[in-house]
C-alpha cells in the first residue's frame, strides 16, 4: 500500500472544478483509487458550508463528501492542533487539518504553501508545483 493522502478543501474544489493539470489530476485520482478519499471534518464543514447558487456544484460537493472518509476530531488531533497553534501563526481550521494529517501519518495535498510548508513533521504536496 502506498502513501495515503488527506485532501485540503481547496484541492477538493480543484478536483470538482477540473482545474488541475492532467498530470496532477491523474496522480490524485490514482492515489484515491488505491487508498480511498480522506478529508478532515473541517474540510467537510468548509465544503458543505460553502455558499453556492449552483445546484449541480452543491450536488457534486455532497457526493464527494459522501464517498470520502471524514476523519473526526480526536483527543490526539486536538492536542496536535494546540501544539501547532502555539508554534505557528496559522488559522485554526488549517491547524486542525495539519494536525489530522500528522496524527494519521498521511500526506496533505493543498495549495496553501504559506501555512503548511512551515509545519514540522507535516508531509505536504502542492498539486500545482510538486506533481
User: pLDDT tens digit string along 57-98?
Assistant: 888 899 999 999 999 999 999 999 999 999 999 999 999 999
130 lies in some domain: no
92 lies in some domain: yes
131 lies in some domain: no
83 lies in some domain: yes
88 lies in some domain: yes
Joined together, the cell numbers standing for residue 124 give: 505536504
Beta strands in the chain (DSSP E): 5-7, 38-40, 69-71, 107-109, 123-125
**Structural domain harbouring 98:** 5-125
Count of structural domains, the chain: 1
56 lies in some domain: yes
DSSP state of 72: P
Q: Is the pLDDT of residue 1 over 70?
A: no
Q: Is the CB of residue 71 less than 8 Å from the CB of residue 103?
A: no
Q: Is the pLDDT of residue 33 over 70?
A: yes
Specify the CATH number for the domain of residue 9. 3.40.50.1010
Amino acid at each position: 500500500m502506498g502513501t495515503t493522502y488527506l485532501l485540503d478543501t481547496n484541492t477538493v474544489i480543484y478536483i470538482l472544478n477540473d482545474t488541475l493539470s492532467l498530470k496532477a489530476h491523474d496522480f490524485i485520482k490514482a492515489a484515491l483509487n488505491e487508498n480511498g478519499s480522506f478529508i478532515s471534518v473541517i474540510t467537510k464543514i468548509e465544503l458543505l458550508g460553502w455558499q453556492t447558487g449552483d445546484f449541480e456544484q452543491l450536488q457534486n460537493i455532497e457526493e464527494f463528501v459522501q464517498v470520502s472518509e471524514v476523519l473526526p476530531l480526536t483527543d490526539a488531533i486536538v492536542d496536535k492542533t494546540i501544539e501547532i497553534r502555539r508554534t505557528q501563526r496559522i488559522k485554526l481550521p488549517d491547524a486542525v487539518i495539519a494536525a489530522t494529517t500528522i496524527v494519521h501519518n498521511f500526506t496533505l495535498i493543498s495549495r496553501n504553501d504559506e501555512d503548511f510548508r512551515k509545519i514540522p513533521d507535516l508531509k505536504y504536496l502542492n498539486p500545482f508545483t510538486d506533481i
